[in-house]
Structure 1
Amino acid sequence: MKNFKGKLIGTLAAVGLLVSACGGGGQQEAQTQPGTGTTTEGTNAQDKGEIIVWAWDIAVKGLNDVIPLFNKKYPDIKVKIDEVGSSDAYDKVTAGLSAGGAGLPDAVLMESEVLPVYTSQFPDGFADLSAMGADSYKEKITATKWPQSISKGKIVAFPWDLGSTGVFYRTDLFEAAGVKAEEIETWDDFIAAGKKIKEKTGKAMLPVDISNGTALISMMLNQEGISYFDNDGDIILGSDKVTKAMAKIKEMNDAGLIANVQGWDGTVTATKNGTVATIPYGVWYSGTIMDQAPETKGKWGVFLLPAFEKGGNRASNNGGSALVIPAASKNKEIAYKFVEFALTDAESQMLLMKKYGLFPSLLETYKDPFFDAPQEFFGNKPIFRLFADESAAIPAVNYTSDYQRAAKHVADAQAKILLSQGDVKATLDEAAELLSVETQRKVKQ
């Protein structure tokens, strides 16, 4: 699912004083408004009532398609999916949690990377799903999805789609340059191949929004088992691993391999126009390629992200989401029944995968024959098996509640390094200190 990273930090900062005045984000029962459903908690055991779910983009269509399957099991629970744009949804959730849950629905779509921001700012804002039985799914959903979904030892978000990564590549451009994808095992191999492709075809190797985009370095760091923070929550922007990743990106740019694009639209345009030979991204980007560049059918392949050293880890994640239930909802039990069904029913998850490209984190789905089926758009290769097999090797990392703040400093550092020839280590150290001042977190090398 396309990520939204826009106004979240500013929105949360704007309500900071209000949250403090309300006692650190705890729910105020006297002020709490009922959920938008019609059944009270006393009748939830009868599996009757109505719930409202907020979502956006293809998640709206997907969840609507799940409702008929859900109603076969729970015919007396009515589910209404309201389409709320991602920006509006985060604004409304922030305002609602600040007011003790006022005006919130019974369940909300939320991006996994954003979850720690909310669970830190509003520690009692979401329902305890562990108490409803979610702990029983810990071994049934890929491990990388759980760290962001757990707060104070309790599950507060139910994992949905996964963003297993790969390198989507134009097979025709690789063939024209005499480059074999299967021989690209490391980032050094990737750079060498990019130089050859550039020389033979004139095409750049990959798109990067240099001033604002952090997807590439984020994927590279996830490979190494880190984010911008260590497991203790300390800042590690100046560490050897982060410095090494940024140095590789600089090497790509210095060789003319990066097409400097503007945001999401720039990446999509580069995909459609064939100005780049590869796009390293999450599995969900396969749907974007098919939707936005249908004329390139049959000209695409996929390989795993290159490792930093031969034999190193090539698994990573980019994107993904979860469903949360506001603690103020008066319909938590029946909302949980829908969330549980939608995200753990294999038939529902495969429907969402096949129709909308929402890659499941539910492990049992990977046994479905669909993952081994040749995909005509991608050279009749079973590309989804590659992503499924990769999922077990994706390292779980600590995003922290300050991940988005860190990403902004990393993007600024990247721009300085790539566009103004700033020293990699010195620039990242500077970014770490700025982030430390902003967040009061310690800096580690």
Structure 2
Amino acid sequence: MHKHLPRTATRAAALGLAAAVALGLTACGPDIGTAPSTDAGADLLQLPAEESPSGEITIWDRSGDLFEVFDEAIADFNEKYPDVTVNHEAVDIDAKLQNTLITGTDVPDGVFLDDAKIAGLSDYLWDLSDVLAPYSGEIAPQKLDVNSVNGGIYGVPFDSNPGLLYYNAAALEAAGIDATAITTYDELLDAARAYKEAVPSAAPIHLEQSPFLGQLQLEMYASQLGTSLADADGTLRLDSPEYEQILTYLDTVQKEGLGTRAEYLGPTDIAELENGNEVFYPWAIWFDFAPQQLLTETQGDWRAMPLPAWESGGARSGAMGGSSFAIPKDGENSELAALFYSFLMFDEAGYSAVWGPSSVYPSGLNTSIPSYLPAADPSTPLFEPVPALGDQDLWAVATEAGAEIPASVPTPSWWAGAVDYLGTNMQRMLDGELTPAEVLEQSSTEIQTNLIDRQ
């Protein structure tokens, strides 16, 4: 459930976004609870057969930086397909899409959608297996997995959001700690303890206080261990040794005073990041927005590295969110929408326009990497080194981490609804009200009873 945050291209505007960040993310909300999808293959969409297609399409995107990036890329699309007119509209998708799909009135030809919502909306979307067939062998498997429902694929994968460990290199070096030596979460705990000893006021590791984002981060950790809330058949598998290991780690961070508990880039979070008390941030690649736009006092001090592994030799990254392009069945020109999205994601001119330098991102879009593997070539960066990360080559770090993300399974339609139970219970654990085992047992019962059994 990726989240390219609502942000502008200018520093002045970005500084006012700290409070809006969390609001933009929690707007995901629950899914619309559709009936089970029909069997895969019943409704397949194909690309246009004609060499010079013509027509008009309406594309919905969220307002913000990515809207501007996609909007600018339309000119590149029209260089190749001059007879296709793209009407690009900024829409509050969470508020508008549900009723639009249900009523079938003024349905867009394509829509930018969180991966976690694909399954819940799949009855209204085209199965894109035929569209993706020429490229599927070179798309990150995790992205195909999360967009799959009953064997069909219902989204053109956009981004990969590898988890990374961001760290304040300057503050840690001053305390005599080499963050680059950290390879496991046990070693991260040891480094946090050493930093707290050197800086008594510190609570070095970020602990997410938002139930939604806390659950999203939990899934990043679980992704590293090759698991998720549901298996490939949609069966709940939360109450497991893997999740207990993760929650025990988070509980330890809280109980030992090693964690700054705050909402992602809220005022408290930013203050503790700036004053050197919070120096480790395990998060998706898109945290790099913070040192670029919000952390003015420590800008240039931050670096990124792959996540620690849960066990020595384990995966050093996991997926944290993501988005794709979906094509509603009731759109008037679905095939042309598929052509547009295929150009953006699989044509070199298209993905270079999206991730390469633009008027929106002069150095390139560095808050994600492509899910199309030829575009995510470590030796051919689409965006430049990031000055706010000390001119670090984030492209190399992120593509290396992205390659380590284990395969996944389809995201269940009830994922967002589970936040009311799992996300909330995790916060109760951090409040000292529940143990990790109690979180797993209670959340499993609540999700099964209130979400799964009611479908």
Q: How does 1:27-426 map to 2 (within 5 A)?
A: 47-56=53-62, 57-85=64-92, 89-99=93-103, 101-119=104-122, 123=123, 125-131=124-130, 133-201=131-199, 202-210=201-209, 212=211, 213-266=214-267, 267-268=269-270, 270-272=272-274, 274-354=276-356, 355=361, 356-357=365-366, 358-367=368-377, 369-370=380-381, 374-398=385-409, 399-426=411-438
Question: What SS class does the counterpart of residue 279 from structure 1 fall into?
Answer: strand
Change (3 A) 1:4 1:104: farther
Instruction: Indicate if the aligned counterparts of 1:343 and 1:349 stay in contact, CA closer than 8 A.
Output: yes
Which residue number in structure 2 is paired with residue 6 of structure 1? 27
The alpha carbon displacement at 1:314 in A equals 1.3
The alpha carbon displacement at 1:76 in A equals 1.2
Change (3 A) 1:71 1:177: same
1:322-354, Cα deviation, whole Å (9 max, x unpaired): 111110111112111111111112233233324
Change (3 A) 1:292 1:193: same
Which residue number in structure 2 is paired with residue 32 of structure 1? none
Q: TM-score, normalised by structure 2?
A: 0.83
Query: Could you tell which deviates more after superposition, 89-98 or 189-198?
Result: 89-98
Question: What SS class does the counterpart of residue 421 from structure 2 fall into?
Answer: helix
1:43-64, Cα deviation, whole Å (9 max, x unpaired): 9875222211111122211111
Gap regions ≥5 residues in structure 1: 14-18, 27-40
Structure 1 Cα separation of the partners of residues 420 and 441 of structure 2: 14
Structure 2 Cα separation of the partners of residues 191 and 264 of structure 1: 22
The alpha carbon displacement at 1:149 in A equals 1.9
Instruction: Indicate if the aligned counterparts of 1:205 and 1:277 stay in contact, CA closer than 8 A.
Output: yes
Change (3 A) 1:426 1:349: same
Instruction: Indicate if the aligned counterparts of 1:198 and 1:204 stay in contact, CA closer than 8 A.
Output: yes
The aligned amino acid for 2:372 is L
Instruction: Indicate if the aligned counterparts of 2:422 and 2:439 stay in contact, CA closer than 8 A.
Output: no
Question: What SS class does the counterpart of residue 82 from structure 2 fall into?
Answer: coil
Structure 2 Cα separation of the partners of residues 7 and 180 of structure 1: 38
1:108-137, Cα deviation, whole Å (9 max, x unpaired): 000112212222xxx2x1123234x32111
Percentage of matched positions with identical amino acids? 23
Structure 1 Cα separation of the partners of residues 384 and 196 of structure 2: 33
Which residue number in structure 2 is paired with residue 30 of structure 1? none
Gap regions ≥5 residues in structure 2: 6-23, 39-46
> Matched residue pairs, number?
410
Which residue number in structure 2 is paired with residue 36 of structure 1? none
Structure 1 Cα separation of the partners of residues 271 and 106 of structure 2: 39
Change (3 A) 1:287 1:48: same
The alpha carbon displacement at 1:397 in A equals 2.3
The alpha carbon displacement at 1:223 in A equals 0.4
Question: What SS class does the counterpart of residue 208 from structure 1 fall into?
Answer: strand
Question: What SS class does the counterpart of residue 144 from structure 1 fall into?
Answer: helix
Instruction: Indicate if the aligned counterparts of 2:29 and 2:417 stay in contact, CA closer than 8 A.
Output: no
Structure 2 Cα separation of the partners of residues 384 and 7 of structure 1: 28
Structure 2 Cα separation of the partners of residues 180 and 258 of structure 1: 19
Instruction: Indicate if the aligned counterparts of 1:371 and 1:385 stay in contact, CA closer than 8 A.
Output: no
Calculate the aligned-residue CA RMSD, in Å: 2.6
Change (3 A) 1:380 1:263: closer
Structure 2 Cα separation of the partners of residues 370 and 42 of structure 1: 31
Structure 2 Cα separation of the partners of residues 423 and 76 of structure 1: 61
Q: TM-score, normalised by structure 1?
A: 0.85
Instruction: Indicate if the aligned counterparts of 2:125 and 2:327 stay in contact, CA closer than 8 A.
Output: yes
Instruction: Indicate if the aligned counterparts of 1:207 and 1:270 stay in contact, CA closer than 8 A.
Output: no
Change (3 A) 1:236 1:300: same
Structure 2 Cα separation of the partners of residues 394 and 92 of structure 1: 33
The aligned amino acid for 2:205 is L
Instruction: Indicate if the aligned counterparts of 1:228 and 1:406 stay in contact, CA closer than 8 A.
Output: no
Structure 2 Cα separation of the partners of residues 177 and 153 of structure 1: 52
Which residue number in structure 1 is paired with residue 12 of structure 2? none
The alpha carbon displacement at 1:425 in A equals 0.8
Find the partner of 1:428 among 434, 440, 455.
440
Query: Could you tell which deviates more after superposition, 304-313 or 294-303?
Result: 294-303
The alpha carbon displacement at 1:273 in A equals 5.3
1:359-397, Cα deviation, whole Å (9 max, x unpaired): 211211233533696443323332221211222221232
Query: Could you tell which deviates more after superposition, 369-378 or 182-191?
Result: 369-378
Change (3 A) 1:351 1:43: closer
1:150-186, Cα deviation, whole Å (9 max, x unpaired): 2332322100011011011111111122111122111
Question: What SS class does the counterpart of residue 134 from structure 2 fall into?
Answer: helix
Instruction: Indicate if the aligned counterparts of 1:45 and 1:333 stay in contact, CA closer than 8 A.
Output: no
